[in-house]
Amino acid sequence: MRPLRGIILKLCSVMVFIVMSSLIKATAAHVPAGEAVFFRSAFAVPVIVAWLAIQRQLATGFHAANPMGHVWRGLMGTMAMGMGFAGLGYLPLPEVTAIGYASPLLVVIFAAMFLGEEVRAFRIGCVALGLTGVLIVLSPRLSITPGSLAGQAEAFGALVVLCGAFCSALAQVFVRKLVLSESTTSIVFYFSTTSTLLSLITIPFGWVWPTPAETAFLVLAGLLGGAGQILLTSSYREADASLVAPFDYASMLFALAIGYFVFAEVPTATMLIGAALVVAAGILIIWRERQLGLRRTDTPE
């Protein structure tokens, strides 16, 4: 285990994914979300396959003991991705990032509902705190001024991103079941291939010919998506998940910086307060899980 290397890889993956989202946002005014999902997924596949070949894990990556599990994970993950990309066309990058933080909180609820995992008062309290933060972030967008088309569009975007967070949480629940029978490499590979195929269903809903610049942005987003998945997977090989997981929330810092300097998006005090509550709740849950893990390890058999 190399903790520092794991943390660096995790931070690199977080930065890569935020840059990827920024490229998608730059095309969102013209390119439909389903088409963006296609580019993001299709151009990630060659990167992932090349990585598997270098690691000599092609056979492992292509093996699927639970094909339908991959399909369900792919369906939920693709819907989450599409909704997140759609939201980027309506809301500032930091707000989309903050609302997306609802996903790991919802995983706690869904894991208790569908996987039978025990959820005690501490985690329930943290989830309540985090969801309160999400509601604070959402509150200005849901206060629609009558006759304001811009306000209606932002409210729609906020709800779309929140629905995406629900789908993302369900996808993570499917992943928790998949890891019992599948390798990490196969989960990564089949998600990219499944989401590529599923995105084609959206062709009748208005795909467009992207401009050369938009094409370059979309292709680069796909390549970065593949690279981000590799960096993320590698980070968990180098260090414990409980150590590197809190660095997910560094994405807010990157989102704020890119939103301000690239898209001229100035964060509001309400958004910052809500995001801070969500981040605090997520870190508390991770810290609690680490403490419980250490306690279980120290308990003699």
> CA 19 to CA 25: how far, in whole Å?
10
- Cβ atoms of residues 173 and 114 within 8 Å: yes
Please report the pLDDT score of residue 2 as a whole number: 78
- Report residue 57's pLDDT band, with 50, 70 and 90 as the boundaries: confident
pTM confidence score:
0.91
Q: Percentage of the chain surpassing pLDDT 90?
A: 59
Q: How many residues make up the chain in this entry?
A: 301
* Mean pLDDT of all residues in 203-213: 94
pLDDT tens for 220-264 read 999 999 999 989 888 888 887 777 888 889 999 999 999 999 999
Please report the pLDDT score of residue 150 as a whole number: 62
Please report the pLDDT score of residue 125 as a whole number: 92
Q: Which residues contact 74 (CB under 8 A, 6 or more apart)?
A: 190, 191, 193, 194, 195, 198
Compute and round to an integer the Cα radius of gyration of the chain.
19
> CA 127 to CA 9: how far, in whole Å?
27
Distances (CA, A) of 61 to 17, 65, 72, 103, 193: 22, 11, 18, 26, 12
- Report residue 300's pLDDT band, with 50, 70 and 90 as the boundaries: very low
First to last CA, the chain: 25
Candidates 248, 88, 109, 251; CA nearest to 161 is 88
- Report residue 142's pLDDT band, with 50, 70 and 90 as the boundaries: confident
Candidates 220, 257, 228, 165; CA nearest to 27 is 220
